[in-house]
Structure 1
Amino acid sequence: MKFAAFSGVFMEHSIQEAMQLTKQLGMDGIEIAVREHHLSSAISQPRINEIKALSESLNLEIPVLATYTGGFSTASDIECKHTFEEFQRLLDIANQLGASMVRVSPGGPNAFMAQDYHYAKAAYWLNRCAEEAKAHQIDIIMEIHNQSLIETVESSLRLLDLIAYDNIGLIHDAGNMYITDTDYGRDSVLKLGKHLFHVHVKDELRVREVGAPGTFTNVTHRGEEIFLQCRLGEGGVDHKPLFEALLETGYAGWVTLECHAPFPAFERLAHDFQFVKKLMSPS
Structure 2
Amino acid sequence: MKLAAFSGVLIDHSIQEAMHLTKKIGFDGIEIAAREPHLSATTSAARIKEMRAVADGIGLEIPVIAGYMGGFSTGSDKDSEQAFSDFQRILEASGTLGADFIRVNAGGPNAFLAQNYHYEKAAFWLRKCAVEAAKLNKSIVLEIHNVSLAESVESGLRLVELVGESNIGLIHDAGNMYITDTDYGRDSVIGLGKRMFHVHVKDEKRVAETGAPGTFANLTKHGNEKFLQCRLGEGGADHQPLFDALKETGYNGWITLECHAPFPAVERLEHDLSKVKQMLGLA
Q: Which TM-score band (shorter chain)?
A: over 0.9
Which residue pairs with 1:40 in the alignment?
40
Give the match for residue 224 of structure 2: 224
Separation of aligned partners in 1, 2:223 and 2:233: 26
> What secondary structure, in the 3-state scheme, does the structure 1 residue paired with 2:20 have?
helix
Q: Which residue of structure 1 aligns with residue 157 of structure 2? A: 157
- The alignment status of 1:265 with 2:265, answered yes or no, reads yes
Shift of residue 8, structure 1, vs aligned partner: 0.2
Q: TM-score, normalised by structure 2?
A: 0.99
Structure 1 Cα separation of the partners of residues 168 and 278 of structure 2: 31
Structure 1 runs of 4+ aligned residues shifted over 2 Å read: none
Residues 86-235 of structure 1 mapped to structure 2, 5 A cutoff: 86-235=86-235
- What does residue 236 of structure 1 align with? 236
Quick one: structure 1 residues 227 and 49, their matched pair in 2 at CA, closer, same or farther if it must change by over 3 Å?
same
Measure, in 2, the Cα distance between the counterparts of 1:12 and 1:83. 25
Residue type at the aligned position of 1:265:
A
What is the Cα deviation at residue 257 of structure 1?
Answer: 0.2
Listed one character per residue, the Cα deviations across residues 192-245 of structure 1 (whole Å, up to 9, x for unaligned) are 000000000000000001111100000000110100000001000000000000
The AA in structure 2 aligned to 1:166 is S
Cα distance in structure 2, aligned partners of 1:69 and 1:275: 31
User: What is the CA-CA distance between 1:261 and the residue it aligns to?
Assistant: 0.3
What TM-score does the superposition give when structure 1 sets the normalisation length? 0.99
- Structure 1 residue 280, shift from structure 2 partner: 1.0
Q: Matched residues, percent identical? A: 64
Question: In structure 1, the residue corresponding to 2:105 is in which secondary structure?
Answer: coil
Q: How far does residue 11 in structure 1 lie from its aligned partner after superposition?
A: 1.0
SS of 1:43's equivalent in the other structure is coil
Q: Number of matched residues?
A: 283
Deviation at 1:44, TM superposition (A): 1.2
Other-structure match for 2:8: 8
Q: Secondary structure at the match of 1:210?
A: coil
Shift of 1:63: 0.6
2:75 is equivalent to residue 75 of structure 1: yes
Per-residue CA deviations over 1:76-124 (Å, capped at 9, x if unaligned) read 1121111111111111001011111000011000000000000000000
Partner of 1:25: 25
- Partners in 2 of 1:233 and 1:156 — Cα distance? 26
Q: Which runs of 5+ in 2 are unaligned?
A: none
SS at match of 1:162: helix
Letter in 2 for 1:77: D
- Coordinate RMSD, CA, aligned: 1.0
Q: CA deviation at 1:50?
A: 1.1
Instruction: Give the 3-state SS of the residue equivalent to 1:169 in structure 2.
Output: strand
- Please state how far the C-alpha of 1:45 moved relative to its aligned partner: 1.9
- Paired with 1:214 and 1:6, the residues of 2 have a C-alpha distance of 17
CA shift digits 1:260-282 (9 cap, x unpaired): 00001111010000001110118
